[in-house]
Homo-oligomer: A and B are copies of this chain.
Amino acid sequence: MELNAIKKLMEKFSKRKEQLYKQKEEGKKVFGMFCAYVPIELILASNAIPVGLCGGKNDTIPIAEEDLPRNLCPLIKSSYGFKKAKSCPYFEAADVIIGETTCDGKKKMFELLGRMVKMHVMFLPCMKTEKAKELWVEEVKKLKELIEKETKNTITEEKLKEAVEKVNKMRKLFYRLYELRANVPTPIRGLDTLKLFQFAYLLDIDDTIEILEELIEELEERVKRGEGYSGKRILITGCPMVAGNSKIVEIIEEVGGVVVGEESCTGTRFFENLVEEPTIEGIAERYLKIPCACMYNNDERIENIKRLVKELKVDGVVYYTLQYCHTFNIEGARVEEELKKEGIPIIRIETDYSESDREQLKTRLEAFIEMI
């Protein structure tokens, strides 16, 4: 049951490096980023390219551990190692890396990363007081100025409006994808959707939109024909799974589950909420709504998970934490409690990028899926 759109996604991805370097040769600037909090609208409005950075592989962790503690999240170590080893084409293409203060580990890693590459770190507030909102608007403004300086292009109102419309268009397509996944049977596997999210950080946005449009047509056809996957319906929630890291989804779908949603930065946190007004303030407002565990009293996330469980007809929730990620790990206690109150089965998994726990995870997830 291969989808043509997914085939196309893989093709586009295989050619992305070449395409990106060609765009760069043509004079476009490249802005690397780690996180869903970076307002890509501003980058696109300056005719530059936003691109996610590598950070999903175990291979680059040993070189990172020369500088960073071992007991640090694998995503942070892997990213840093990719830059140190110069082995990520997106890192190497980036003119500037845009970081944000989402977590202690990244915040402090950026200090070391800043010695290898030009860094700009946005101060993301972890509370949403009025002053904090003002501060975030200021940070978005500063990013705009940095981008304008770097690209030598002025971000006009017109350009910004176009960029906002384009990114909103992509977001709406992801919303539609989620509506389609709510069908029983669900028309697409979680592993395919995960690739889509992972590559959406890497591909040219026009390509992503094109792929999404084709994908949705195909899935609508499938839904009409009643085709799809009918395992136990799983919602994943927690840390992002960047390209290279698909272990948990692979295991879930090996042992009889099908992932129907991801409350994650490679999932809903990437596309939920549109930018209402094509202004700095409008952009700041949309991004501050992202319910990352870095926020103090992040109740919106818990509400979102409950809503997604209903909308997607979920049988069980897999709470996914990258090892040593304090924010998602601690928030897991509240999420677990709240879901249990409503009788929603949940299993909490903490893992890294190694393969050493694959069998153990398989046993646990198999038992969970049989039980629900």
Contacts and interface: CB of A to CB of B under 8 A. Distances in A.
Interface in A127-182: 127, 129, 131-132, 134-135, 138
Nearest to A330: B108
Interface string A298-330: 000000000000000000000000011011011
A104 B108 CA distance: 12
A68 interface: yes
A67 interface: yes
A112 B332 CA distance: 11
A330 B123 contact: no
Contact of A67 (B104, B131, B135, B333): B333
Interface in A89-118: 101, 103-105, 107-112
Nearest to A134: B131
Nearest to A350: B69
Interface stretch (A196-204, A259-267, A274-282, A289-297): A289-297
Contacts of A356: none
A296 B331 contact: no
Contact of A326 (B104, B121, B126, B330): B104
Nearest to A131: B135
A68 B333 contact: yes
B108 A331 contact: yes
Contacts of A129: 123, 135, 138
A14 interface: no
A110 B101 CA distance: 19
Nearest to A101: B126
Given A104-B103, A296-B111, A330-B69, A127 B131 contact: no
- Stoichiometry, as copies per complex, reads 2
A68 B296 CA distance: 16
A34 to B, nearest CB: 15
A138 B127 contact: no
B330 A112 contact: yes
A331 B131 CA distance: 28
A139 to B, nearest CB: 8
Contacts of A329: 69, 71-72
B101 A296 contact: yes
Interface of A: 67-69, 71-72, 101, 103-105, 107-112, 121, 123, 125-127, 129, 131-132, 134-135, 138, 293-294, 296-297, 323-324, 326-327, 329-331, 333-334, 350
25 contacts: A68-B330, A68-B333, A69-B330, A69-B350, A71-B71, A71-B324, A72-B326, A72-B329, A104-B104, A104-B105, A104-B294, A105-B326, A105-B330, A108-B293, A109-B330, A110-B296, A111-B296, A112-B333, A121-B296, A123-B132, A123-B296, A125-B135, A131-B131, A324-B324, A324-B326
